[in-house]
Structure 1
Amino acid sequence: MPDLFQDDFFADEPPLKASPGQTLPEPVAEPELQTRKPRRGDIALAPQAMQYAQLASQLPANLHMGASTWSYPGWEGLVWDGAYSKDVLARKGLSAYHQHPLLRTICVDRTFWRPLTTSQYAAFAAQVDEDFRFVVKCPAGVTDAQVRTEEGKPREDNPAFLDPRLAVEHFVQPTLEGLGSRLAVLVFQLSPLPWGLLSRPGLVFGKLGLMLAAVRQALAEHPQVVVAVELRDPELLGPALVDTLKAHGATFCLGLHGKMPPIEEQLPILRALWPGPLVCRWNLNRSFGAYGYADAQKKHEPFCEIRSEDQHTRQWLARTVKGITGAGQPAFVTISNDAEGCAPRSIALLAQAIADLPAAR
């Protein structure tokens, strides 16, 4: 492990603390989106985006950065060559997005709300080149312990929570078949747990282990696919989490938002799992609190500029990326508009911060 990674990130870190029903719907094809005909037929990359080509050449080859979803009209001039509706961008935007020098991955978040079909994934894959990679979230029907109302309020226990069969059949298999070699990371984001489960971490990690075992078996011929677990309960950070992830060849996804500790307090988990890849999702600026997504959206729309700059997180993340990639491990970092106001601009700032750091010794 290079000195930069070891000394800069993990020196003097506090030791890890000990850890104190619904049937998933069948995937359905989405209705045809109503769109207007784009200018000149297909969406093209904004010419201004090529100013980042030289910066991209200075980044580690094993680093993939990108946004969380892509259908934002406010990225006109940053990613898109003109004005397009959200519907047009949702259908065709990846064909331009993937040509941006800094955007080498995308997090498909919409799968959290309902499963997608193999053909839907294949349509995404057809818009990008061989070097592009996808990060995909598992449906909440598997990773949420509660069935929720349309407003997100808990309604009842979810009997399908961490169900191995559903995780494989409704998530792993369709993503593999549809995305093929472009699939990089499967993210299992556990929604906030009710106290009845949070007070019984052994039960949670037992169920998680069974699901991860089934997922790894389904990926037996695809060892390059990273399996990452993201949490929403800091109480679960500890040795039991590390042991469960290690036992099943999974890693920890850094989830950067107000519900979890800041990045530097999550890094001990990565140290305990070392060596391994980096998966990071920078979802929400901590200034908005644990549940401030609506406030962030209101402040940041139309998502075309930095309005909530977070230099602290950026610098920690840059050093983390530099150290891990410098040690030969891959890194997949996705950033939401809710992090600072505009994902493409945040990615450019992060890329510059990474490039400005000295090489790992």
Structure 2
Amino acid sequence: MQKSLFGEQEPLFEKPLIKSGTPVEPLVAEAELMALADALPAHLRLGTSSWNYPGWNGLVWDGEYTANHLSRQGLTAYSQHPLFRTVSIDRSFYRPLNVAQFAEHASQVGPDFRFVVKAPSLVTDALVRDESGRGMRANATFLNAAEAVQKFVEPALEGLGSKLGALVFQISPLPGQLLMRMPEMINRLHRLLKAIPDLRSIAPDGVVAVEVRDPQWLVPQFVQALRDAGATYCMGLHPKMPPIAEQLPILRALWPGPLVCRWNLNALHGAYGYEEARDLYLPFNRMVDPDLETRSALVRVIAGTAGAGQNVYVTLSNKAEGSAPLSIIELARAIRLNVQGIGNK
């Protein structure tokens, strides 16, 4: 009998085939995964951060493909995984995408799929980065409303249409001099958010969310800015930020409303451990560092939000526990148990 993903239990997928041609075809999910997907709340969308990982052979893909091949042609296969109803487009952070690029992504998925899209660093980095990713000098377009709308919001909305789920402004860590001017930073963010047109006429499930990497943002003025602009808070699970319990007051203050969450990096690697986690977890095909505490806390937030009829977008990185697809399976199992427990009370 084929070895399963988690030891000696029944396999979740059929044995993968090794292929190099096109198109990329998905693995055929077995009944357990299909039943798991059917048991999840309708308003919940789980997915990963990007999809171009060759190491997912045997988890998502039917064989061996290069990262470039998966980047170009893997999205359709990805979207056919029963638990993947969203994905985070992360490449837009490094360079703005145009309408045609967004439309190409939208054409590869079904009508129920929704995208989480990261805003370009052009407007979310206070410092211009060099080739290594380090900040060099002040960014003149940081939190610039016109740039954000023209280079990000309008192309994403036109290209993705009704398949737009969440536009995420992930504000990178601020230099010390700006951390001392938080009221000014929040006012600039507020002006940007107010300039964004209403998404709902084109994307009924669309939401604007702000993720931060400095806890100094988490003050009442920040909440007021989000609420006034009709935006929400993106709960970022990253070592630079407090644990879920300490971020919940922001979500409670914005309730009722959707949940947007990005689980980026396992806390045990520290605030600057991205490369360490990547090197340790490659090729992202096994669970290395299960974070049961974070998973349990996240399940409660997801169940409460989706159970109240609010949309939920949760994306996970391979750097969260070692393999995003396996993390999603375990998260989905825990959500199903939570939902069943509520139903039995």
What is the TM-score when the length of structure 1 is the normalising length?
0.87
Distance 1:346 1:134 in 2: 19
State the Cα distance separating 1:51 from its structure 2 match.
3.8
> Alignment RMSD, CA only?
1.6
State the Cα distance separating 1:40 from its structure 2 match.
5.5
The aligned counterpart of 1:28 is: none
Q: Is the CA contact (8 Å cut-off) linking 1:49 and 1:79 kept in structure 2?
A: no
Distance 1:204 1:40 in 2: 49
Task: Select the residue among 231, 235, 240 that pairs with 1:254.
Answer: 235
Q: Is the CA contact (8 Å cut-off) linking 2:237 and 2:264 kept in structure 1?
A: yes
Task: Select the residue among 87, 95, 118 that pairs with 1:106.
Answer: 87
* Runs of 5+ consecutive residues of structure 2 not aligned to the other structure: 1-18
Bigger relative CO (Cα 8 Å, ≥ 6 apart): 1
Q: Is the CA contact (8 Å cut-off) linking 1:49 and 1:100 kept in structure 2?
A: no
Q: Is the CA contact (8 Å cut-off) linking 1:300 and 1:338 kept in structure 2?
A: yes
Distance 1:212 1:59 in 2: 32
Q: Is the CA contact (8 Å cut-off) linking 2:162 and 2:204 kept in structure 1?
A: no
Distance 2:242 2:61 in 1: 35
Where has structure 1 moved over 6 Å in runs of 4 or more? none
Task: Select the residue among 303, 324, 342 that pairs with 2:305.
Answer: 324
Distance 1:355 1:62 in 2: 14
SS of the residue aligned with 1:52? helix
State the Cα distance separating 1:195 from its structure 2 match.
1.6
Q: Is the CA contact (8 Å cut-off) linking 1:187 and 1:230 kept in structure 2?
A: yes
Q: Is the CA contact (8 Å cut-off) linking 1:114 and 1:140 kept in structure 2?
A: yes
The aligned counterpart of 1:146 is: 127
The structure-2 alpha-carbon separation of the partners of 1:182 and 1:197, relative to structure 1 and needing over 3 Å to count, comes to same
The aligned counterpart of 1:7 is: none
Q: Is the CA contact (8 Å cut-off) linking 1:168 and 1:218 kept in structure 2?
A: no
State the Cα distance separating 1:48 from its structure 2 match.
4.1
The aligned counterpart of 1:359 is: 342
Q: Is the CA contact (8 Å cut-off) linking 2:199 and 2:206 kept in structure 1?
A: no
State the Cα distance separating 1:154 from its structure 2 match.
2.1
**Does structure 1 residue 115 correspond to structure 2 residue 96?**
yes
Q: Is the CA contact (8 Å cut-off) linking 1:138 and 1:188 kept in structure 2?
A: yes
Q: What is the aligned-residue identity percentage?
A: 52
The aligned counterpart of 2:270 is: 289
**Does structure 1 residue 279 correspond to structure 2 residue 273?**
no
SS of the residue aligned with 1:340? coil
Distance 2:110 2:327 in 1: 23
The structure-2 alpha-carbon separation of the partners of 1:160 and 1:220, relative to structure 1 and needing over 3 Å to count, comes to farther
**Does structure 1 residue 193 correspond to structure 2 residue 138?**
no
Number of aligned residue pairs? 325
Cα deviation, 1:210-264, whole Å, max 9, x if unaligned, reads 1001113576654531000000001111101110000100000000010101111
SS of the residue aligned with 2:197? helix
**Does structure 1 residue 82 correspond to structure 2 residue 63?**
yes
Counterpart amino acid of 1:329?
Answer: Q
Distance 2:251 2:264 in 1: 19
Counterpart amino acid of 1:171?
Answer: F
What is the TM-score when the length of structure 2 is the normalising length?
0.91
The structure-2 alpha-carbon separation of the partners of 1:55 and 1:335, relative to structure 1 and needing over 3 Å to count, comes to same
Cα deviation, 1:17-43, whole Å, max 9, x if unaligned, reads xxxxxxxxxxxxxxxxxxxxx646311
